[in-house]
Amino acid sequence: MGEPAQRLEPANKPPQEETISPWKEAWRKFRKNKIALVGTSIVFFFILVAIFAPLIAPQGINEQDLPNRLQPPSADFWFGTDDFGRDIFSRVVFGARLSLTVGFLAVVGSAIVGSMLGIIAGYYGKWVDTIISRIFDIMLAFPSILLAIAVVSILGPSLRNALIAIAIINIPNFGRLIRSRVLSVKEEEYIMAAKAIGMSDSRILFSHVLPNSMTPIIVQGSLAIATAILEAAALGFLGLGAQIPEPEWGAMLAASRALLVQAPWTLFFPGLAIMLAVLGFNLMGDGLRDALDPKMKT
Amino acid sequence: MNMLQYIIRRLLQLIPVLLGMTFIVFLIIRAIPGDPALVILGQQATEDAVAALRESLGLDEPWYVQYFQYLGNLLTGDLGESIRTRTPVNEEIWPYLATTFELSIFAIVIAVIVGVNAGIISAWFQNSWFDYTAMVLALVGVSMPIFWLGLMMQYQFSLQWDWFPTTGRENVRDPVNAITNLYLIDTLIQGRFDQFVVVLKHLVMPGIALATIPMAIIARMTRSSMLEVMKSDYIRTARAKGEKMFWVVYKHSLKNAIIPVLTVIGLQTGLLLGGAILTETIFGLPGVGRYIYEGISSRDYPVIQSGILIVAFIFVMINLIVDILYSVIDPRIRYN
């Protein structure tokens, strides 16, 4: 009997409508995507491993235990030991710090520079757009790893320079994405209104255009971290990134190549770590794309 | 706009890109911090040697003069001289290019055959165990560090099971008599089927390693593209007419689903050429990737420059050809 009474609303109060913000809606979609959740769990697992590496790793990264060299995986040495008796598990755990840091910083760097260039190109158009877009075209004309090799061969091999190289090669991906977004956003009425009330270009760009172009940056960013980790490992493997004895996963693979017959575990675990970390970011990125910007799917 | 005009326009658009590419490659030596000649020769080099290299690389001239000299040399086919072997790069690079070409073609064939078929079967039997397994494998494949996969394959299939040779391109005791430097073709021309099998065996592992990522991407793309096409009216009509499902899938659906797949195949060539550096390094294949890698190890900058430039040039050309192919295959795509 109470039901009809509940339906009675005061005449001046509009009926309550459930409004969901786009972010909440995206989160709802993301939460339903099991594969994306698996990816996110893998990513968080690696982030936790990187943060708590000193607590998780039983040994230091360069702690040598020569009597226990080339030990296969066991209860004492979960991932075995290398030819210096160093604990592979500890090195893989600390390697998560290097790989995640390189992936994250390289992508943040390329996202910032790429977005700035993309916004400037898209907003100002004309010759500014032509020049910036042609630079992007030229950079994209190189297979990415080759461009990274070119940059590192100029700067010299090191983990820092590999990070810079990866950041540079990813700039056009962000730049192009944001440029096309800006081209559509700048035709919106609220941008015209902002112009009409005399708002400065920089304020329009940073208060309106950039926030409205954030979704593709987030999606592209999470997918780009996966590629960046893979590229950093590839450069490390080629001797152009992290240098021995840094426990970077790619450099660990390069250092242990000669041990393939004797001690395959020295190669198995660092490679598995690369694959899982990349898989995690890829799955999470796919999920974010589906939830935030399904139009990006090609 | 007709096809010829479209091709000419695309070629003209390429000019600034190619000029930009040569400028980036030109910078590889010139942007080295400090004295590039000293960096190339090392700290122990004599002053005379450093001065001689500076002169031979033209480093004493202003940068724009150097760039135009470099461009002029490129136009006459002069790619510089390898510092290590003292041989002109354009003479020694061809066998390396042929190796990479053979490996890449082999890999793309594997990627297309396996990827397209896996995608088709996944779409045909959507939500079946095959679909799930193929798509999980594709997800893993996309994230695969191919240099690691290559090493693991060497361990399992070569060192443990002895199915395939670990490294190299041929049996060193019975070398292939090179004609085109594409050994599969060379052995067939000479009727040496025994050598053909040996060369093929050497190609299997690096080919699969290099094919993994494109294969995974092609499989995913084919599946989603097929699922979309198979929902369309004309497919329903074909099935209603009693056409066998096999023909509906392979004749009617694939024809229309293949266009987005072609785009992906075009895009994958860059990945393939980049991946060739890693694959060739692991499998000891004397390809252009390994040529560049050896150039890096010995700070042979003319080799690094020319290797990168040639690979990038091939990449740009392949993309152009793929773009033109779309318009041939799909008349709905307009040239403008």
Instruction: Indicate whether B176 and B320 sit together in one domain.
Output: yes
B303-318 pLDDT, tens per residue? 888 888 998 888 888 8
Residue A71 · residue A81 · CB < 8 Å: yes
For residue A1, what are the contacts with CB-CB under 8 A and spacing of at least 6?
none
Distance CA B226, CA B260 (A): 10
Picking from A99, A138, A168 by the largest number of B CB atoms within 10 A of its own CB, the best residue to mutate is A138
What is the CATH classification number for the domain harbouring B111? Answer: 1.10.3720.10
A25-57 pLDDT, tens per residue? 888 888 888 888 999 999 999 999 999 999 998
Q: Which of A77, A102, A35 is nearest to A287 (CA)?
A: A35
- Give per-residue burial for B260-276: e unless 16+ CB within 10 Å, then b: bbbebbbbbbbbbbbbb
B156-197 pLDDT, tens per residue? 999 999 999 999 988 888 888 888 889 999 999 998 999 999
- Domain with B129 in it: 94-329
Q: Both tokens of residue A290?
A: 């589906």
Amino acid at A281: F
Instruction: Indicate whether B182 and B234 sit together in one domain.
Output: yes
CB count within 10 Å of CB B72 equals 10
Query: What pLDDT, on the 0 to 100 scale, is given for residue A2?
Result: 44
Instruction: Indicate whether B213 and B315 sit together in one domain.
Output: yes
Residue B178 · residue B95 · CB < 8 Å: yes
Q: Is residue B306 part of a domain?
A: yes
Count of structural domains within chain B? 2
Q: Is residue B137 part of a domain?
A: yes
Residue A113 · residue A167 · CB < 8 Å: yes
Candidates A137, A146, A268; nearest CB to B312: A146
Query: What pLDDT, on the 0 to 100 scale, is given for residue B336?
Result: 47
Fill in the DSSP letter of residue B253. Answer: I
Residues in chain B within 8 Å Cβ distance of A282: 139, 142-143
Residue B285 · residue B106 · CB < 8 Å: no
Q: Is residue B98 part of a domain?
A: yes
Q: Which of B297, B133, B140, B326 is nearest to B215 (CA)?
A: B140
Candidates B148, B292, B297; nearest CB to A253: B148
> Cβ A268–B278 below 8 Å, yes or no?
no
> Cβ A260–B25 below 8 Å, yes or no?
no
Instruction: Indicate whether B41 and B128 sit together in one domain.
Output: no
Q: Which of residues B223 and A212 earns the better pLDDT score?
A: B223
Residue B183 · residue B192 · CB < 8 Å: no
Query: What pLDDT, on the 0 to 100 scale, is given for residue B84?
Result: 80
> Cβ B270–A144 below 8 Å, yes or no?
yes
A119-159 pLDDT, tens per residue? 899 888 889 998 999 899 888 888 888 889 888 888 888 99
Query: What pLDDT, on the 0 to 100 scale, is given for residue B231?
Result: 80
Query: What pLDDT, on the 0 to 100 scale, is given for residue A298?
Result: 43
Q: Which of residues A283 and A202 earns the better pLDDT score?
A: A283
Q: Is residue B89 part of a domain?
A: no
Residues in chain B within 8 Å Cβ distance of A261: 155, 159
Q: Please name the residue of chain A whose CA is at the shortest distance from the CA of residue B140.
A: A279
Q: Is residue B162 part of a domain?
A: yes
Instruction: Indicate whether B183 and B34 sit together in one domain.
Output: no
Candidates A154, A240, A275; nearest CB to B32: A154
Amino acid at A193: A
Q: Is the pLDDT of residue A280 over 90?
A: yes
> Cβ B139–A268 below 8 Å, yes or no?
no
Candidates B143, B151, B154; nearest CB to A275: B143
As a whole number, the mean pLDDT across chain A is: 86
Instruction: Indicate whether B184 and B271 sit together in one domain.
Output: yes
Q: Please name the residue of chain A whose CA is at the shortest distance from the CA of residue B307.
A: A146
Instruction: Indicate whether B199 and B100 sit together in one domain.
Output: yes
Q: Both tokens of residue A93?
A: 């755990």
Q: Please name the residue of chain A whose CA is at the shortest distance from the CA of residue B298.
A: A153
Q: Quote the distance between the C-alpha of residue B116 and its chain's center.
A: 19
Q: Which of A204, A140, A206 is nearest to A175 (CA)?
A: A140
What angle separates helix B254-282 from helix B89-124, to the nearest 10 degrees?
Answer: 130
B311 touches chain A (CB under 8 A): yes
CA-to-CA dists, residue A216 to A77, A243, A285, angstroms: 43, 34, 11
Q: Is residue B317 part of a domain?
A: yes
Q: Please name the residue of chain A whose CA is at the shortest distance from the CA of residue B152.
A: A268
Query: What pLDDT, on the 0 to 100 scale, is given for residue A46?
Result: 96
The backbone torsions φ and ψ at residue B81, rounded to the nearest 5 degrees and listed phi first, read -120, 135
Residue B104 · residue B318 · CB < 8 Å: no
Fill in the DSSP letter of residue B159. Answer: I
Instruction: Indicate whether B145 and B226 sit together in one domain.
Output: yes
Query: What pLDDT, on the 0 to 100 scale, is given for residue B283?
Result: 93
> Cβ A279–B154 below 8 Å, yes or no?
no
Instruction: Indicate whether B72 and B213 sit together in one domain.
Output: no
Q: Is the pLDDT of residue A18 over 70?
A: no
A138 touches chain B (CB under 8 A): yes
Q: Both tokens of residue B165?
A: 């040779």
Candidates A139, A230, A261; nearest CB to B159: A261
* ipTM at complex level: 0.85
Which residues 163-222 in chain B show a CB within 8 A of chain A? none
Instruction: Indicate whether B35 and B103 sit together in one domain.
Output: no
Q: Is residue B29 part of a domain?
A: yes
Q: Name the minimum distance, in Å, from the CA of B87 to any CA of chain A.
A: 21
Query: What pLDDT, on the 0 to 100 scale, is given for residue A6?
Result: 53
Distance CA B43, CA B38 (A): 6
Domains and CATH numbers, chain A: 98-296 (1.10.3720.10)
Residue A233 · residue A274 · CB < 8 Å: yes
Arithmetic mean of pLDDT, A282-297: 78
Residue A234 · residue B278 · CB < 8 Å: yes
Distance CA A171, CA A144 (A): 11
Instruction: Indicate whether B100 and B249 sit together in one domain.
Output: yes
B259 touches chain A (CB under 8 A): no
pLDDT band at A113 (very low <50, low <70, confident <90, very high): very high
Q: Is residue B300 part of a domain?
A: yes
Distance CA A131, CA A135 (A): 6
> Cβ B151–A260 below 8 Å, yes or no?
yes
pTM of the model: 0.86
Instruction: Indicate whether B157 and B229 sit together in one domain.
Output: yes
* Residue numbers of chain B with a pLDDT score lower than 70: 1, 330-336
Q: Is B27 exposed, middle or buried (0-12, 13-18, 19+ CB in 10 A)?
A: middle
Query: What pLDDT, on the 0 to 100 scale, is given for residue B227?
Result: 86
CA-to-CA dists, residue A1 to A5, A9, B222, angstroms: 8, 17, 58
A37 touches chain B (CB under 8 A): no
Residue A86 · residue A62 · CB < 8 Å: yes
